Structure 1
């Protein structure tokens, strides 16, 4: 490790990590979730070890079923993913007592300190965890590359050191030890501090319209800290309030800039329910790369469901001394992969960034950041450069969430100075529309003797087909694509070249898209439109790296492709293209060639949606009296559902035919407005939801027979604006009461595509 980057096998490494909690996802869905994570561009996953799940009673350790940490790590490795184990003992993660077992809390020990009695119990936990990791650490040739002890511990550096010593004595040997560094945390030198950045926070008060630190994360800055994350717990549990000037924000120049909690979405609490968008997540993540991050870590990358034990649900709550009441079951987090495996729009937006990091992260990691412009002033152009002195990337943004939007920037042209020359991009000023986050390559090596001096398009990936190498770029909406080459060369295909400034300026002769290929000596440049770029994957199929364009979620598994379509028809295109595909779970139409791509249409009989209920309004439903609780006296989630509006939904048995047997899923999608909803199948609570402006998905797959026999019963409490619950300005105008706009059953299919044996 250097002061600026991490090396692996002697080469700079730019990891991309997503938080996935094995204990909150049914084991039978691990493979699909991890497959989608890998297809989304992750090279590693992080996961909490929740103590209360593994040792519910003293000495009674459980590592079976959904709690099989070892099996989860092995499954991750099978999908080509490394693992970061966040091993507690205290985790937070919106878990009851931060993951501490109830029996531990009843002992009255000085937890999260070097109290000998507490450390003795930690030794037992770590020894058990080490046994699960035996043979799986990086030193042993396994996928576990890093470990974190405790979480959000800001004032006990000696305790963090003691936890590492105990873990190593137990046999856990990893090359990287991390500790959360936000909130001005005191992190020992033997740990790598890791940071967070969220576009919103459910942990803020309902009087806060946008957290104080949130706008900062949409600007470029080498400052890594954020005093708002975990501030509610510091105040509620420790009585400590940090003002904006109380802790100097560090640049931590002695260690690499690593993140572990870039907000992949945001959870909701009863009193405050953020509505983070896909564009929020995309822009924040790219801003951190532009600010110097060399490790992108997302929290959460996949949602899940809170566990339930003999004492009830295991979420944090006012009843257990926490400042926030969160849903009893749902931990969807509006993550790129949802609680039930739904693939969200920002999964695709982030994948574009991850494709680029996979291709050029080793160079980017060594590039220092220079913030060129942009402050709190929304009219100032925000831009930054990452450079190694000879080449680099220009970052520009006109995006900030709608609460404080940025304006368009007109007449933009920037000159970037390198050690031996300046580069001006574009060659003529260009107008940048509002709402864009951009990264443009500068002096990018294309082929022997050929350099891309600049481009007004994003690098996605490079791949080789039978004709040679292809560089894939993505155009941005409203910005003309210009390529400038550092030599006078012949240009053909979809490009038109003209001499300029000692090189060649290339414009496009056709619109960006799958057919837009600029032919250059020694390389071709494929320029995709934004929609196609969001559909682009790169994965190994039948022993060969290929580009895949598809309108349905997809991942690679043992050389095949696995699709999870929500619609009865979907499309898949491949480059380089095999002659034939074989489909399991779909009817495969004849292939059609489009340029270098080969395209197939699939009919999926086990997928599709069916409306079951529409237009139910219950405006006169009585709302329970608001109650405040917890250490910060915030609004508490209702517990009295006696006056809730009941909605019964009959679920036809035939919707489960084929889908469950074929390892697909059946979701109930409720589009509604109200306050709190609960869903029952028989007497079993299967889902809950704090309304915040999005549809509510309920997974019926595990209870298919019961749902077909009994139906689903919803209990819905009405929205009352005067209660004081905070929701996003975009949805505040809803009327009081309960409205169920629609209830749809959504069948998610599962299709496996294989290349014919003759081509393997």
Structure 2
């Protein structure tokens, strides 16, 4: 295939992108009442807010699965990641463990979570159930409800009576916090993955409204051919892989579609096992329409931010998979990016034990009893992962130009199953737009380089060709190139082979007459070309030429933090991808600033909050404050490092930098190169309605590794994680006989948060119980990690010391 591709001749791909007709309005029972401040409306093509298109970016965060003292950290990372909203399940089993015994305390305090989200500048979508799934025991139903044998998830009067009571309790927690009341709650989801009961879904909204809930967005999950009533907005999903597939499925049937540009919104494979096993519903391909009509906008709520694992099947979704899928949905017309999960958590323990779905509770899958990490951008214990940075690049762009993108319609230019065909699309409004192209698919079915890529887009009053000369698009990349993007008054970027990140007012910085700083990111392996309409003077590392009434600028230097092109009224900063992954846009010291950081950062009430497992880091700001100083608090109860120091480095081009020293952060090795033997591992077993492999529950014959952890390895930092690099089958960590963490090995390291157990671990240590890998069992793992020997290998066990440092800024720019 690569040789055939290399021999192809370049060909210009052409498309016409006319100005779309105005969207339909007032045909949906959604939106705020007339006169509502900051009113939210839903048109047939996009959402609006305060009279202009709104492109929400939402991430799933489960408050009841995260320690309350960690909420602010997780929400801060979500906001720093470019999200403007979070979604959260309200698990009935957690809030009413016994009939009439409602709990809203501790990390079940929904009201406090919503208020804290608002403090971080985040809206909230409440997934109210009553059935939620979320890999929870009985889908979140309390055991006492299941025991009554009611016709649940229907309009059965006895069931609805209980639903009304639970709904009333939930809505009481949201009193005064809805959007119409000036609060952060903008939406409510009714049930979850309910496919054949549209009347019941409609009733759930009615029940909520009867109890006083008023929100502009009423939603339901629409995948799997779900029948969604007209009173709810269907939201869709897209996952790179799924633990719910069988062990003989190398890649789910619908997953390849999600890496192409397509008008297909539905996915019949997500949750198909539950439909079949629990509801007896089998949806055949072609039996339902996969594309909605023109009445509804294309909105998502479950783009896979990672993937959970089951015992029988353990996908290894990579950060690049997540980012490529998300960008493919933007190129396919999505106007609402919603991720599941955005932050992982820990399965609860309730009156009947751990509250995960399992064969024992009638589910097709056994999932871990404690961990719900999901391989998310923010992990179960606050670990910030690479896809947090990759997605933030997309979200910064949406913050800057999402209103324009939302109003653009999509034309899919090419991208069939044929891997030799260029996959590309255009989103445009007749005047300007974006060209999307991708050569990315997951490693098990990669794509090759696309030679001689060039796209010609005919707009209403101009034709734009990007790039001006064909370029080879490397394998494994996705791009979104701007067309006729306005840089400043009278200055238009006709096209670019770099992607828009963000822009910021640099008027109070050095070279104040340079205007705004517009930030682009180059794609590794793609030469950067900027095409400006008309005759434009440019300074900086570029080679200019006049062509077709435009000024073509070829970047003559490597992209990076100091690669600046000066233009009349604006400066264009062209970053490389590694630097772009370090870029944030945060409110620091009372104004929006660009922040380059080697370590994860977020902002809260004007302070810069740093989370680092590295003892040294560099932080750079644009525009820069007069100073950065280490503070002792940011008004939360979270711990901070009192040994940290920050020192100015000085100015370097646009940026002013500081070095951060955090002596307590880092790693301390506890053990390495262990090969324990399990004396009597249990025999493989099967169970559940689909007769899949069951997770072992008998650890009496497991290998046991006792670990003593020095007190000074756990003290003096905000969080101490035990990181275990190992291979095997299933593991558990026990402190004082209690299982505090578990792990189905699937290729990633296993992290155990020791912070809540510091005193116990220092006194008694902890024990790892490990069961061996046996390829003959038939568990599916990713091909990239499949070739491991039978048995148990523990390569290393480290304590990862994560420090938290709060930096506050001076008021005046450092150059005054």
TM-score, structure 2 normalization: 0.92
Larger deviation: 289-298 or 485-494? 485-494
In structure 1, the partner of 2:806 is: 752
2:150 paired with 1:96 = no
2:670 paired with 1:612 = yes
CA distance in 2, matches of 1:390, 1:758: 40
2:742 paired with 1:688 = yes
In structure 2, the partner of 1:736 is: 790
Report if the CA contact (8 A) 2:225-2:283 is conserved. no
Alignment of 1:208-247 (within 5 A): 208-247=249-288
2:119 paired with 1:72 = no
Alignment of 1:343-742 (within 5 A): 343-465=384-506, 466=508, 467=512, 468-584=515-631, 585=641, 586-618=644-676, 621-659=679-717, 664-742=718-796
CA distance in 2, matches of 1:208, 1:689: 22
CA distance in 2, matches of 1:555, 1:516: 25
Kindly provide the CA deviation profile for residues 29-68 of structure 1, in whole angstroms up to 9, marking residues without a partner as x: 0001000000000000000000000000000000000000
CA distance in 1, matches of 2:502, 2:775: 48
Change in Cα spacing, 1:758 to 1:363, as seen in structure 2 (3 Å) is closer
CA distance in 2, matches of 1:590, 1:185: 57
CA distance in 2, matches of 1:688, 1:410: 47
Kindly provide the CA deviation profile for residues 697-725 of structure 1, in whole angstroms up to 9, marking residues without a partner as x: 00000000001111110000000000010
Change in Cα spacing, 1:432 to 1:622, as seen in structure 2 (3 Å) is farther
Q: Which of 151, 156, 159 in structure 2 is aligned with 1:110?
A: 151
Alignment of 1:314-333 (within 5 A): 314-333=355-374
Cα shift at 1:517: 0.4
Report if the CA contact (8 A) 1:494-1:519 is conserved. no
Cα shift at 1:619: 5.4
2:96 paired with 1:62 = no
2:52 paired with 1:52 = no
Cα shift at 1:418: 0.8
2:230 paired with 1:186 = no
Cα shift at 1:620: 6.5
CA distance in 2, matches of 1:759, 1:167: 50
Report if the CA contact (8 A) 2:678-2:703 is conserved. no
Cα shift at 1:687: 0.2
Change in Cα spacing, 1:87 to 1:313, as seen in structure 2 (3 Å) is same
CA distance in 1, matches of 2:95, 2:365: 24
Cα shift at 1:462: 0.7
Cα shift at 1:251: 3.0
Kindly provide the CA deviation profile for residues 514-548 of structure 1, in whole angstroms up to 9, marking residues without a partner as x: 11000000110000011000000001111111100
CA distance in 1, matches of 2:769, 2:623: 52
Alignment of 1:87-166 (within 5 A): 87-166=128-207
CA distance in 2, matches of 1:759, 1:500: 41
Kindly provide the CA deviation profile for residues 189-220 of structure 1, in whole angstroms up to 9, marking residues without a partner as x: 11110000000000000111100000010000
CA distance in 1, matches of 2:680, 2:265: 47
CA distance in 2, matches of 1:696, 1:531: 26
Cα shift at 1:696: 0.1
In structure 1, the partner of 2:243 is: 202
CA distance in 2, matches of 1:757, 1:285: 38
C-alpha RMSD of the superposition: 1.0
Q: Which of 306, 316, 322 in structure 2 is aligned with 1:275?
A: 316
Report if the CA contact (8 A) 2:678-2:702 is conserved. no
CA distance in 1, matches of 2:320, 2:618: 25
Change in Cα spacing, 1:325 to 1:601, as seen in structure 2 (3 Å) is same
Kindly provide the CA deviation profile for residues 291-339 of structure 1, in whole angstroms up to 9, marking residues without a partner as x: 0000000000000000001210000000000000000000000000000
Larger deviation: 603-612 or 54-63? 603-612
Report if the CA contact (8 A) 1:196-1:259 is conserved. yes
CA distance in 1, matches of 2:425, 2:813: 46
Cα shift at 1:243: 2.0
Report if the CA contact (8 A) 2:133-2:192 is conserved. yes
Report if the CA contact (8 A) 2:678-2:701 is conserved. no
Secondary structure class of the residue paired with 1:441: strand
Secondary structure class of the residue paired with 2:624: coil
Cα shift at 1:233: 0.5
Report if the CA contact (8 A) 2:311-2:744 is conserved. yes
Secondary structure class of the residue paired with 1:750: strand
CA distance in 1, matches of 2:759, 2:399: 44
Kindly provide the CA deviation profile for residues 129-156 of structure 1, in whole angstroms up to 9, marking residues without a partner as x: 1100000001111100010010000100
Secondary structure class of the residue paired with 2:505: strand
Cα shift at 1:623: 2.9
Larger deviation: 94-103 or 243-252? 243-252
5+ residue gaps in structure 2? 1-41, 632-640
TM-score, structure 1 normalization: 0.99
